[in-house]
Chain A
Amino acid sequence: MAIIVSIRNATKDYRLGKVLVPALRGVSLEVNSGEFLSIAGPSGSGKTTLLNLIGCVDTPTSGTVEVAGRNTAELGERALTRLRLYTIGFIFQSFNLVGVLDVFRNVELPLLLQRTLSSKERAERVHSLLDRVGLKEYSDHRPSELSGGQRQRVAIARALVTRPQLVLADEPTANLDSVTGQNILDLMRELNHADGTTFIFSTHDARVMSYANAVIRLADGKLSDTSDGGRATDAEVAELGHVSAGASQP
């Protein structure tokens, strides 16, 4: 299986006044295409920082991050933006939809940025995705007219509309009730199975991480000391409350 993300000894430090705060301390990780991977860990463990590095919205202090075979340190701002546009989809904890655009336009937005499809092709793809996430009837609604679960579905459709190789979701269910959260995870996993899109999502919720095919655990900016590059074993996952069927290990 092809490696979509490869991180070697990545560190990330933040400066808070005169104090240097290490958020990641030498993380190395490889993620295969098609994985449904969860990054688990308590608050402040470095989950979001790791997702930011993978998503090319931030750069490591040291070490290397390769996404889709490209070393992000060697890319300029424009190239990084293009890499994000064509390779990565984002799902945010608080949805981050554009408030002034309706559902259709929110989902269409990345396609407009790509400028590769015709108006008709874009409309077909957007409607098809809205159908898949169950929001076909809501295409002309504004985000403010939708429930939290519906907004996250719009965000998922937006993340997938460009058919990216990799979708990153930062605590995608944190702002949802448990039933809605479960529905969102079911949907994400269904899309992962159907399209083979790689999903990496962060969570500190044991029930959520049990949905993943594989889980990596972060604590204090480092991968947990396990035998397999930070990936939790089935037993460890089981300890977290649920055994994931068919977890894949690289």
Chain B
Amino acid sequence: MSSFFLDLRIALLSLFEHKRRTFLLGAAVATVTALLVLLNGLSAGIRQTLIETATTISTGHLNVGGFFKVTAGRGSPIVTDYQKVVEVVKREVPELDFSVPRGRGWGKIVSDSGSTQAGIGGIEIEHERDFKRIVQLSSGNFEDLAQPNTILLFESQIKKLQVKIGDAVTISAQTPRGVANTVDCRVVAIAKDIGLLSQWNVFVSSDSLRSLYQLRPDVTGAIHLHLHPKALKDLPRLAARLRTSLEHAGYRLMEPDPKPFFMKFQSVAREDWTGQKLDVTTWEDELSFMMWTLKALDGLTFILMLILMGIVVTGIMNTMWIAIRERTKEIGTLRAMGMQRGSVVRMFFLESLLLGIFGGVTGVTLGVSLAALLNAAHIHVPLTVQIFLMSDTLHLAVLPTAMLSALLLVAVVTGAASLFPSLRAARLKPVDAMSHFG
């Protein structure tokens, strides 16, 4: 047994010797770790839900959109001859999983009993891979959306328009040439609300949207690119690469601007060019108007983590003060016998670290179990929370990295909390330490 293992043994035995203290402190560490895991799980769950929902409803991970200007002062959010753009993308982006064309529009939905303004998504339902999983229907069916002049509305819009499956609504909008046009659509699907995005989005078949805006079949609003998970870590770099590839393929590109397309109308109208320009955006650009929710969540998580860590540090440091005070005579004896100061610090650091690891592992297990229970319980959240959560139920995503980081953080913080008191104890003269009482 080396002196390290001796220190380890003393540390372990000390933990067992002071069962009550170890239990109470271990329980505190475990509770904090469990809370950290749950907090992280909640944050990751919301982020995951939001990304998944948003990247299904209104944006891809990356988007190739753009504007077409008939005159310098008037631009429409369309991509002409989009199949050729798709070919370039498929060739230049190996990280691509799949892509879907989406029509983009904004108009007024009018029923016999009411009206509402909404963003109009033109979809080809047969090509949508995740749409049917994310959007939950309360009535109707998705397949009917493949038929011309059909529409999917969300429940809150149904209430406002007072319509049901089979009823007709009229969509009214201005074409790229500035002419008012309307299209009658039959309600074929009603979906459950999924937060903020379902407040202003309706979906019609792509052909219906083209018909509304009087567009050719080779025109779409944007191409939503869905990438393999590993590629999601560095989207801005990937976006820059795609821009270069499109430029090399002969397309004109708009200046990068991290905003959703509907916030670019004015700036595009001020620019002196006509024809087609493409725009490459990330999902974060398209959702920048609501990214504050994620930032607020991250900030809140960080503050709560700081508070929790503060509690752990204070608790451990306080307890280590008491433990070291109780064992000052022992420290003096060990120092008199020839133990170096560093070993004394290591002994207490190990004791604290072990406590952190034991408590941490227990806490992670507890946190993961609680998260699984909460997920299994399908807890419904209030409507106001649903708006930001993008889901009607609470979903916690406990990632392995989050578990490991919580464990590491707690263990390191717990170990570090012992350093100050043990350094002070180690600096005592052996004679002073040995004559210490209490």
Contact = CB atoms under 8 A, between A and B. Distances in A.
A112 B434 CA distance: 21
B9 A105 contact: yes
Given A96-B330, A96-B333, A109-B6, A81 B13 contact: no
Interface string B329-371: 1101111111111010000000000000000000000000000
B14 interface: yes
Interface string B303-338: 000000000000000000000000001101111111
A85 B1 contact: no
B3 interface: yes
A235 interface: no
Nearest to B7: A112
B318 to A, nearest CB: 22
A17 interface: no
Most central of B2, B16, B17, B339 by chain A CB within 10 Å: B339
B3 A113 contact: yes
A57 B338 contact: no
A82 B3 CA distance: 15
Interface in A57-115: 57-58, 77-78, 81-82, 84-86, 90, 92, 96, 98-101, 105, 108-110, 112-115
A81 B340 contact: yes
Q: Select the residue from A84, A98, A100, A101 with max chain B CB neighbours within 10 A.
A: A100
Given A58-B429, A109-B6, A115-B2, A98 B334 contact: yes
A58 B432 CA distance: 9
A46 interface: no
A57 B339 contact: no
B432 to A, nearest CB: 8
A147 interface: no
B1 A57 contact: no
A100 B10 contact: yes
A34 interface: no
Interface in B390-438: 429-431, 434
A100 B337 contact: no
Contacts of A55: 336
B2 A86 contact: no
Contacts of A233: none
A52 B338 contact: no
Among B335, B336, B337, B429, max chain A CB count under 10 A is at B337
Given A77-B341, A98-B330, A100-B14, A57 B6 contact: no
Given A57-B429, A100-B14, A90 B337 contact: yes
Interface residues of A, number: 28
Contacts of B335: 57, 81
Nearest to B343: A113
Nearest to A162: B338
Contacts of B10: 98, 100-101
Contacts of A78: 340
Contact of A57 (B9, B343, B431): B431
A126 to B, nearest CB: 12
Contacts of B330: 96, 98-99
A194 B339 CA distance: 28
B17 A57 contact: no
A195 to B, nearest CB: 19
Of the listed residues A57, A58, A108, A109, the one surrounded by the most CB atoms of chain B closer than 10 A to its CB is: A57
Residue among B1, B334, B430 with the most chain A CB within 10 A? Answer: B430
Nearest to A119: B1
Contacts of A158: 337
B9 A86 contact: no
Nearest to B338: A85
Given A57-B434, A58-B429, A98-B330, A112 B2 contact: yes
Given A101-B10, A119-B1, A96 B329 contact: yes
A112 B3 contact: yes
A57 to B, nearest CB: 4
A84 B336 contact: yes
Interface string A140-170: 0000000000000000001000000000000
A145 B13 CA distance: 16
A115 to B, nearest CB: 6
Q: Which 10 pairs from chain A and chain B are nearest by CB?
A: A85-B338, A100-B13, A57-B430, A96-B333, A58-B431, A57-B431, A112-B6, A84-B338, A52-B431, A112-B3
Interface of A: 52, 55, 57-58, 77-78, 81-82, 84-86, 90, 92, 96, 98-101, 105, 108-110, 112-115, 119, 158
14 contacts: A52-B431, A57-B336, A78-B340, A85-B338, A96-B329, A96-B333, A96-B434, A99-B330, A100-B13, A105-B6, A109-B334, A113-B337, A113-B338, A158-B337
